Amino acid sequence: MAVLIIGAGLVGSQIARLLVEQGQRPVLMDTAAQRDALGEIVDLGRVELIEGDILQPPHLARAIQPYGISDIVHTAANPMLTLGAQRDPFGAIQLNIMGTVNVLEAARAHKLRRVVVASSNVLNHFLAGGEGKGDPSKEEAFPRPTTFYATTKQAIENLGLNYARWNDVDFAAVRYGAVCGPWTGQGGGGPSNIVREAVLNALRGEEAVVGAGGLEWVYSKDAARGTVLALQATADLRSRVFNITMGRVTTPDELADALKAAVPGARVRIETPAAAAVSAPQMHHASDLGLAKSVIGYQPEYDMSKAIQDLVDWFKAKQK
C-alpha cells in the first residue's frame, strides 16, 4: 500500500522526503510537477511522479487503483494562496473546494485508510464578526473568514468533518502557518516568497526586504513532519483539526535579526510590498498547539532563527 501526495511543491516535496526516509515509495501527483526543484528535496528515483488534476475525478482513480493507494495527503492549493484567491476567487473556489470534494469522494469510494488535507492558520486570524458570542439563535453567532482563501479553507474543513461523520472517511486537517523553506520552484504564498527572496538577496550582498507585519510561521520541514504525524497516528483521532505552526508570532525585527545572524553583514529593510499586504497582516496571537501535541505528538523543531539558518545553509550548499 502507498501514500498519494497531491501537490509536489514546497510542503509536498518535504512530505515525500520523510516518507522515503521511512522506506516508503510515495506517489506524487501534480498538474505540472517541477522536476528540477522537486529533485533537490527528494530522490526522484525513490518516488512515483505522475501527472493529474484533482478537478478531474478519473485522474484520482487512475492514481489510486494502479498504485494501490491506501492514504492521501492533499497539499494542492490555488497559486499564491491568499493573494491568488483575492485576484481569482472563482478559480480558488473551484480548486480548493471542489478539488478537495473530489479527493474526499475518491477516499469514500475506494475505502481508503485516511485523508489528510492541508488547511491554513488564516482561519485563526482572518476573521470578523462573532458579535452573537456563539449564540446560535443570532445571525452573527460566530466569526466569519474575511478573505476568499480563508473561506475556502473553512469550507474544506467542514466538508471533511462531515465526510468523517456521515461517510466513514477518516479525515484530518493540518492548519499550517505561513510556510517558508527550501524550494527553488514556483508556488507558495506571498509571505513564503518574501522570505525566500530576502534570503537570496542577503546571500547576493543585496538589500533584503522582510514584511512589516508580525506573522505566525512554520518551516516546511515542520509542516511536513506534522502532516506525517497526522497521517500515521494510530489511535482514533479525538480531534481532526490541528494547528501546525511555530507556536508564536514572529515580529519583523525578529525575522530581520535571524537573517542578519545567518548572513553576517546582511542589509535588511522592513517593508511589506503593497501587493502582498492582504496576505501579510499584523498578527497578534499565536495558534494553540495543545491538540497537535496531545493527539499526534507534534512540537515544532524550528523557531525562526533555526529556520532561517537552515534555509541559508541549504542555498549556500546549492551554490557550491
Percentage of the chain surpassing pLDDT 90?
87
The residues near 96 (Cβ < 8 Å, ≥ 6 apart) are: 77, 78, 85, 149, 152, 153, 155, 156
Q: Evaluate if residue 44 carries a pLDDT over 70.
A: yes
Is position 272 within any domain? no
Looking up residue 33, the CATH number of its domain turns out to be 3.40.50.720
pLDDT given for residue 295 in this prediction: 95
More confident residue, 318 or 30: 30
Give the closest residue to 298 by CA, choosing from 223, 236, 195: 223
Between CA 98 and CA 104 the distance in angstroms is 10
Residue 313 is inside which H or E element, if any?
A: helix 304-319
pLDDT given for residue 277 in this prediction: 64
Sequential DSSP letters for 15-56: HHHHHHHTT---EEEESS--HHHHHTTS-GGGSEEEE--TTS
Partnered with residue 244 across adjacent β-strands are: 176
Query: Mean per-residue pLDDT for 137-161?
Result: 96
pLDDT given for residue 165 in this prediction: 96
Is position 117 within any domain? yes
pLDDT given for residue 104 in this prediction: 98
Q: Evaluate if residue 117 carries a pLDDT over 80.
A: yes
The one-letter code for the residue type at 28 is L
Query: Mean per-residue pLDDT for 132-157?
Result: 95
pLDDT given for residue 83 in this prediction: 87
Q: Evaluate if residue 276 carries a pLDDT over 70.
A: no
Query: Mean per-residue pLDDT for 134-146?
Result: 94
Query: Mean per-residue pLDDT for 5-27?
Result: 98
Query: Mean per-residue pLDDT for 197-224?
Result: 96
- Average pLDDT of the chain is 95
Give the closest residue to 49 by CA, choosing from 80, 64, 67, 27: 27
pLDDT given for residue 188 in this prediction: 87
Residue 221 is inside which H or E element, if any?
A: helix 220-232
Query: Mean per-residue pLDDT for 105-123?
Result: 97
Phi-psi region of 80 (alpha: psi -120 to 50; beta: other; left: phi over 0): left
pLDDT given for residue 273 in this prediction: 67
Strands, E assignment, the chain: 2-6, 27-30, 48-51, 69-74, 114-120, 127-129, 143-145, 171-176, 178-180, 208-210, 215-219, 241-244, 249-250, 268-270
Between CA 219 and CA 139 the distance in angstroms is 38
Is position 278 within any domain? no
Give the closest residue to 77 by CA, choosing from 94, 60, 57, 59: 94
Is position 204 within any domain? no
Q: Which of 14-28, 123-137, 211-225, 266-280 has the lowest mean pLDDT?
A: 266-280
pLDDT given for residue 229 in this prediction: 98
> pLDDT tens digit string along 156-192?
999 999 999 999 999 999 999 999 999 999 988 888 9
Please give the grid coordinates belonging to residue 205: 550582498
> pLDDT tens digit string along 228-262?
999 999 878 889 999 999 999 999 999 999 999 99
Query: Mean per-residue pLDDT for 36-45?
Result: 98
Between CA 34 and CA 56 the distance in angstroms is 20
Is position 160 within any domain? yes
Is position 104 within any domain? yes
pLDDT band of 284, cuts 50, 70, 90: confident
The values of phi and psi at residue 307, to 5°, are -65, -50
Q: Note down the domain range covering 75.
A: 2-180+219-246+286-300
Please give the grid coordinates belonging to residue 195: 522570505
Is position 307 within any domain? no
Give the closest residue to 191 by CA, choosing from 206, 177, 175: 177
pLDDT given for residue 143 in this prediction: 94
> pLDDT tens digit string along 292-311?
999 999 999 999 999 999 99
CB 46 within 8 A of CB 112: no
Partnered with residue 210 across adjacent β-strands are: 270
How many domains is the chain built from?
1
Q: Evaluate if residue 281 carries a pLDDT over 80.
A: no
Query: Mean per-residue pLDDT for 109-113?
Result: 98
Is position 209 within any domain? no
The values of phi and psi at residue 144, to 5°, are -120, 145
CB 160 within 8 A of CB 122: no
Dmax of the chain from CA atoms?
63
> Across the beta sheet with 215-219, what order do the strands follow?
178-180, 215-219, 249-250
